[in-house]
Chains A and B, each alone.
Chain A
Amino acid sequence: MENWSLISLCVLLGLTSRWTVSFHSYSGAGKPPMFGDYEAQRHWQEVTYNLPVHEWYFNTTNNDLNYWGLDYPPLTAYHSLVCAYVAKLLNPEWVELHASRGYESHSHKLFMRATVLFTDILIYIPAVLLYCFYFCDGSSKQKVAAAFCILLYPGLILIDYGHFQYNSVSLGLALWGTLGLGLGWDLFGCLAFTLALNYKQMELYHSLPFFCYLLGKCIKQGLTGRGFFHLVKISMTVLVTFALCWMPFLSDPKQPLQVLHRLFPVGRGLFEDKVANTWCSLNVLIKIKTLLSRETQLFLSFALTLLFVLPSSLKLLSKPTLWQFKLALVNTSLAFFLFSFQVHEKSILLVAFMLPLLLKDGLLLPYVVTSLAFLFLSLYLLSALERSTEEELRLGLYCKLTQRWLPKLNLSRIIKWKFWFSLVAMAALSFTSMWLKPPAKLPDLFPVLVSVLSFLHFLGFIIYFNQVQLMEPQRKKSLKKTN
């Protein structure tokens, strides 16, 4: 079968699964007075359409920041504005100032879901297809298989089409940025990533690798001469893009400050709810949230994040290849997730670990189906379990360590067993969260267990991926020129 037909089949299946997930409930459905993220997005359409720009981020009589005030950068606001124009055409009641608070109807839900699908098709899906075709190894069938698995990734589908958010825009733009860098179009990559950053400040997690990669590349080209010139071009692109995005807010110095204040709420605590990061898990043993002062918490989180981010960034700086870049993306974002301040569980976009959130939204069925489908599909199409010999898993360092004391240890078999064990643990936790009632003394038992389990996994991942990145041998048997 020809490639384009296989791709179109995969895309159609991806789109179908996305739209069928959207049949289900969204966050805060039918839960006044605050509702949820869905209402937040609708509210932003209302605010951006009816109020002038300089009032969007400020607390005024018309704009109550306590009721889902804007806390994403300007690009989200512009996107909401465009959606609001369309909404006004279809049904003005949807964006009526004040009167449309808590508006819920079947046609409105269809409209909101349609906006997500539209941006997904426009930005995210082409990026995934291009990425798989240019930067994946193997035959064209394997590339299609990879694209298919990525398109069916449950986390994004469940959050965007279930809970309701627009992560596909920011992630898609970041992916375009990666594509740009990979193809050697650094300026385009910068532009795309800066746009992603201006859409959701969460993309800061990915900004350090971009910075280190480009800086490293410029240094390699020689800081006097071509490298310097390149650096200037990159900086100009970034600055101009920022200026264009923030233009309406640059007239008055108070504006950008207020926007930044909304984007980075340091007034809130170290964490909220149950997140699978260090602080929340540590809190189970020692109550850090109450023990340490706000300043100490900030300092501690900053220090630890820096500590975990530094090795991988420095390595990338010294060796700016695409493979290092990808590894650095994983490491840096994991580090930020685990150690930084006020992290929300959605930042991780790894499915099983958002289980409590999804249960609250009434998304149990799509969660079960999409997770199982993704798991099965990845195992089947990507044969992950078959290709896990020691060499392929790059377990070299560990092997050397354990060889001395436990020569008979078959590490790859252990990894496989650990994989199945994790799956069983996840399934068991899903099951118990759904059906069993927690004991009265520990009402949050299951969400905490989910967070702690996930945290342990992430800790393992960050150590593993750091090891892979830092220990990369000098001569990698790379096949592609851009690897």
Chain B
Amino acid sequence: TVMAAPMTNDQSCFFAQALGVSFLKCLLINAYHSTDFEVHRNWLALTHSLPVPQWYYEAMSEWTLDYPPLFAWFEYGLSHIAWFFDKEMLVVQNLNYASPATILFQRLSVIVADVVFFYAVKECCKCLREDKGKDLLGKPSFILTVLLLWNFGLLIVDHIHFQYNGFLFGVLLLSIARHFQNRHFEGALLFSVLFNLKHIYLYIAPAYGIYLLRCFCFTQSNAEVSGFSVVRLVTLGTIVLSTFAVSFGPFIGQLPQVLSRLFPFKRGLCHAYWAPNIWALYNIADKAFSILGVKFKLLDINKLPKASMTGGLVQEFQHSVLPSVSPLATLVCTLLSILPALFRIWHRPNGARGFLCCLVICALGSFMFGWHVHEKAILMAILPLSLLAVESREEARIFLILSITGHYSLFPLLFTTQELPIKIFLMLLFTIFSLISLKTLFRKGGALLNPLEATYLLGLIPLELICEFVYPLTVWQKTFPFLPLMLTSVYCALGVTYAFIRLYISLLTCSDSTKKIKTQ
């Protein structure tokens, strides 16, 4: 039989990857989709059928518009194409409408929107240090391409659960790439566009603010007032404000209503499935103390509030032993957690790499301490961290821990039996690839993960077996149905916290890089 030589061309390899992953996404069209599918269908319908002033007032469906206006305009654009697939999906009254044409259209729109993500990944690869002489599979740019394009979290959240994160993260990564390439105005513009597409990116706005102020507005590296460029500051301000004007302009009169839709604080401290953050650990500690307190007769069982936080509903609740947590408290905690990093890049900026590190810390800090955080938000930390992981050994090991635990914590999102093999296969795929490729990349200098970390990660396998296979067959399934979710959150919270601390240590102890980042 006649066989061929392996691929040698970087471009064709990238194209092959993009095409391959798109084929996989097409095969996932018929998979399970969550209520987010109906959310986006509803938004297509209301942007198409209703006049603009009513977009943020419409409340026929429970899934009201809670993204900023630019995303609404995006949906409006999509709705015109949707019209050719199935007109019925654009009727607001057709709640939970999911004809095959609707599913096909929505899934295809996510797949096509991912083109932005592909472009951004390509740009990010250009920002890496050149590494000639390695074979293709060992090149940092190849590894980064695979880590980003085939990211497990992105695949299952976007193409099964259903969201448009690929497109949004594309804009984010492009903005980061532009900063690496010293095209700061474009980077700032892209970020303000991103913020107007999904306001969750507020989490990382401080990193942008401090970095741009310090490294861009102060033209000299030692922050002297004489080097301060007012022109740059004003230009940046204009860019940001004009983006906001374009986005919020039509809604100036209804600003309070829009803001109330965007920031619904009536939801509880923890999302139904308990993102693996500090509050998960806090909740479990509270539960443990209350149980111990009752056992040792320190507390009266009748005075304790009912166990509502462990149900699957999104409510406000009170803690029983430890003090209750209010939104303001979480805000303060979040700010406190990211302040050291912000100070650090103010005093000793490390160029674009320091900015990226600070960005990841801001994302992770907000994930750890934020109010009503969804576990999908871990992707905001994992994806930018991939860029750092292929260049530095320490960040590679943090990335491994964070990505594996973070991705595992997304498992409860796909709870159907049909999707079980998919999530296991894809998780194994991504984990094996990231472990082996990063290990090979940094093989000089010993093992990447120390035995404790390796044991922790291996512990995910028995955890999965217990939660998914063993527990449902036991008697406790009926009385404590939330237990596997709680276990998953708490176990992963440990890993995420560990990664957060290590990342901080890495930022605070790294010396200024004397090598210049590759600029264009």
Whether the Cβ atoms of A392 and B2 lie closer than 8 Å is yes
Q: Does A5 reach chain B (CB closer than 8 Å)?
A: yes
Whether the Cβ atoms of B3 and A137 lie closer than 8 Å is yes
Task: Determine the chain B residues whose CB is within 8 A of the CB of A146 once the complex forms.
Answer: 1, 3
Whether the Cβ atoms of A5 and B24 lie closer than 8 Å is no
Known: A19-B422, A145-B6. A136 touches B1 (CB 8 A): yes
Closest to B15 in A: A380
Task: Determine the chain A residues whose CB is within 8 A of the CB of B433 once the complex forms.
Answer: 5, 9
A19→B1 CA distance, assembly (Å): 30
A contacts with B, residue count (CB < 8 A): 44
What does the 1/0 interface line of A137-154 toward B look like (CB < 8 Å)? 111011101100000000
Distance in Å: Cβ of A20 to nearest Cβ of chain B: 4
Whether the Cβ atoms of B437 and A141 lie closer than 8 Å is no
Whether the Cβ atoms of A20 and B422 lie closer than 8 Å is yes
Closest to A138 in B: B3
For window 133-151 of B, CB contacts with A under 8 Å fall at: 137-138
Whether the Cβ atoms of B7 and A380 lie closer than 8 Å is yes
Closest to B435 in A: A5
Whether the Cβ atoms of B425 and A1 lie closer than 8 Å is no
Task: Determine the chain B residues whose CB is within 8 A of the CB of A5 once the complex forms.
Answer: 432-433, 436
Whether the Cβ atoms of A15 and B6 lie closer than 8 Å is no
Contact among B12, B26, B137 for A365, CB-based, below 8 A: B26
Most buried by A among B28, B30, B138, B417: B30
Q: Does B20 reach chain A (CB closer than 8 Å)?
A: yes
For window 1-44 of B, CB contacts with A under 8 Å fall at: 1-7, 12, 16, 19-20, 23-24, 26-31
Distance in Å: Cβ of B149 to nearest Cβ of chain A: 13
A358→B1 CA distance, assembly (Å): 30
Known: A1-B138, A20-B24, A137-B3. A365 touches B422 (CB 8 A): no
Whether the Cβ atoms of A23 and B418 lie closer than 8 Å is yes
Distance in Å: Cβ of A310 to nearest Cβ of chain B: 25
For window 426-443 of B, CB contacts with A under 8 Å fall at: 426, 428-429, 432-433, 436-437, 440
Whether the Cβ atoms of A13 and B429 lie closer than 8 Å is yes
Task: Determine the chain B residues whose CB is within 8 A of the CB of A141 once the complex forms.
Answer: 6
Whether the Cβ atoms of A145 and B31 lie closer than 8 Å is no
Q: Does B421 reach chain A (CB closer than 8 Å)?
A: yes
Distance in Å: Cβ of A291 to nearest Cβ of chain B: 43
What does the 1/0 interface line of A90-111 toward B look like (CB < 8 Å)? 0000000000000000110010
Whether the Cβ atoms of B432 and A16 lie closer than 8 Å is no
Distance in Å: Cβ of B259 to nearest Cβ of chain A: 41
Contact among B6, B16, B28, B417 for A20, CB-based, below 8 A: B28
For window 363-393 of A, CB contacts with B under 8 Å fall at: 365-366, 369-370, 372-373, 376-377, 380-384, 386-387, 392
Whether the Cβ atoms of A373 and B3 lie closer than 8 Å is no
A392→B5 CA distance, assembly (Å): 15
Whether the Cβ atoms of B24 and A110 lie closer than 8 Å is no
Known: A5-B436, A12-B425, A16-B426. A21 touches B2 (CB 8 A): no
Task: Determine the chain A residues whose CB is within 8 A of the CB of B428 once the complex forms.
Answer: 8, 12
A382→B2 CA distance, assembly (Å): 8
Task: Determine the chain A residues whose CB is within 8 A of the CB of B437 once the complex forms.
Answer: 1
Task: Determine the chain A residues whose CB is within 8 A of the CB of B418 once the complex forms.
Answer: 23, 106, 110
Whether the Cβ atoms of B23 and A373 lie closer than 8 Å is yes
Q: Does A17 reach chain B (CB closer than 8 Å)?
A: yes
Whether the Cβ atoms of B26 and A369 lie closer than 8 Å is yes
Closest to B32 in A: A23
Whether the Cβ atoms of B27 and A15 lie closer than 8 Å is no
Closest to B417 in A: A110
Closest to A142 in B: B3
Whether the Cβ atoms of B31 and A20 lie closer than 8 Å is yes
Q: Does A346 reach chain B (CB closer than 8 Å)?
A: no
Task: Determine the chain B residues whose CB is within 8 A of the CB of A23 once the complex forms.
Answer: 27, 30-31, 418
Distance in Å: Cβ of B109 to nearest Cβ of chain A: 16
Whether the Cβ atoms of B27 and A9 lie closer than 8 Å is no
Task: Determine the chain B residues whose CB is within 8 A of the CB of A12 once the complex forms.
Answer: 425-426, 428-429, 432
What does the 1/0 interface line of A269-284 toward B look like (CB < 8 Å)? 0000000000000000
Whether the Cβ atoms of B429 and A9 lie closer than 8 Å is yes
A373→B26 CA distance, assembly (Å): 11
Task: Determine the chain A residues whose CB is within 8 A of the CB of B24 once the complex forms.
Answer: 13, 16-17, 20
Known: A117-B421, A373-B23, A376-B19. A16 touches B1 (CB 8 A): no
Whether the Cβ atoms of A377 and B20 lie closer than 8 Å is yes
Contact among B19, B20, B425, B440 for A19, CB-based, below 8 A: B425
30 residue pairs bridging A and B, Cβ less than 8 Å apart: A1-B138, A1-B436, A2-B436, A5-B432, A5-B436, A13-B429, A15-B421, A15-B425, A20-B24, A20-B27, A21-B27, A23-B27, A110-B417, A110-B418, A136-B3, A137-B2, A141-B6, A142-B5, A145-B6, A146-B3, A365-B27, A365-B30, A366-B27, A370-B27, A373-B23, A380-B12, A383-B5, A386-B4, A387-B4, A392-B2
13 other contacts beyond A9-B429, A16-B421, A20-B28, with CB at 8 A cut-off?
A1-B138, A2-B436, A9-B433, A12-B425, A13-B429, A15-B425, A16-B422, A136-B3, A138-B4, A142-B3, A145-B3, A369-B26, A386-B4
List residues of B whose CB falls within 8 A of some A CB: 1-7, 12, 16, 19-20, 23-24, 26-31, 137-138, 417-418, 421-422, 425-426, 428-429, 432-433, 436-437, 440
The 10 A-B residue pairs whose C-beta atoms are closest, nearest first, are A383-B4, A20-B27, A138-B3, A373-B23, A142-B3, A23-B30, A5-B436, A12-B429, A369-B26, A16-B425
